[in-house]
Amino acid sequence: MPRPDARRITNQTPPPGTTLFLIGMRVTNPLRVRAWLYVFLAMPRMLFHLRRHADAGMLTYRLYAGSSLMVLSYWRSPEDLRRFAADTDAPHLPAWRGFNKRFADTNSVGIWHETYVIGEHETISSGMPPWGLAEAVGAEPIGRGSATAAARLGRCPV
């Protein structure tokens, strides 16, 4: 564990495209243990994989617990993040497909994520009230023109 630094510090200028990714889950029905345990156990597998595969692009992460469990992570770029999410050899895609097949829209467990790139953002949530940015500025249904992360990022003014 790094030692504390008593100096006042700030970040160095991040390379263009550095990406902040927030992802979390919220237990919406504690009795549906199979649903929320499935989501809960998927994240450690992904983080372990990403620590072993630095070339995937995740720079660092932190875990947080509150009304929603959350992972805050920084990535080299949104492309690296999307590449990991779609990688058939990485643990995310099978977990995401399994969630959508078994638990999406069941009101058992909620998931959410938000992606921030300098000057841009993209958010999504499912199975729970608006969270994060959607809670702060309002929410709208995903539909035509907003179905993919790339499309949602393209709607943002720079």
pLDDT at 15: 84
Are 75 and 57 within 8 A, CB to CB?
A: yes
Provide the 3-class DSSP secondary structure of residue 42: helix
> Which stretches within 53-145 are classed as H helix?
78-86, 92-102, 133-137
* pLDDT, tens digit, 9 for 90 and up, residues 21-35: 999 999 988 998 888
For residues 97-111, give the mean pLDDT.
Answer: 86
Q: Which two tokens stand for residue 91?
A: 């643990």
Rounded-to-integer distance, Cα 103 and Cα 72, Å: 23
pLDDT at 157: 56
pLDDT at 119: 64
- The count of other CB atoms within 10 Å of the CB of residue 138 is 8
What's the pLDDT band for 16 if we cut at 50, 70, 90?
Answer: confident
**Nearest alpha-carbon partner for 64 in 43, 38, 85:** 43
For residues 15-23, give the mean pLDDT.
Answer: 91
Per-chain mean pLDDT for the chain: 85
Q: Is the pLDDT of residue 106 over 80?
A: yes
H or E segment and range at residue 74: strand 69-75
